[in-house]
A = this chain, B = another copy of it.
Amino acid sequence: MAKHDPSLDTVFSALGDPTRRAILERLATGPASVSDLSAPFAMAMPSFMGHLKKLEAAGLITSDKAGRVRTCALVPGAFAPARDWLSAQKDLWNARLDRFDAFVTQLAKDQSE
């Protein structure tokens, strides 16, 4: 496990906001323009752009401007570091359970001798 992966900071922080998660859920079904994305949200454009900026800074989305329309899309595999950290955490936990189990087993064995 990486000691202090700075990308996890931005990724997890970006995911910690419901607006941003909703944007990602929307983008999972396909690319969309900024105004299309912002339509469901009762929020001024600059505020909304701030969220997109964070998602892009975290590497979760890309955006490209054609004419006056900026189109956003998910970056495939961008969730991997987050998923991996959570998996590694789970593995650590299971390893601990195994050690604990071995300890208890040994204890029982010692007592029966």
> Which A residues lie at the B interface, using CB under 8 A?
1, 4, 6, 8-18, 21-22, 24-25, 28-30, 74, 76, 79, 82-83, 85-86, 89-90, 92-93, 96
Contact = CB atoms under 8 A, between A and B. Distances in A.
Copies of this subunit: 2
A89 B12 contact: no
Contact of A13 (B4, B16, B96): B16
Given A13-B16, A93-B76, A83 B86 contact: yes
Given A16-B12, A17-B9, A82 B93 contact: no
Contact of A89 (B30, B79, B90): B79
A89 B55 CA distance: 15
11 contacts: A1-B25, A8-B15, A8-B18, A9-B17, A9-B18, A11-B16, A12-B16, A28-B96, A79-B86, A82-B82, A83-B90
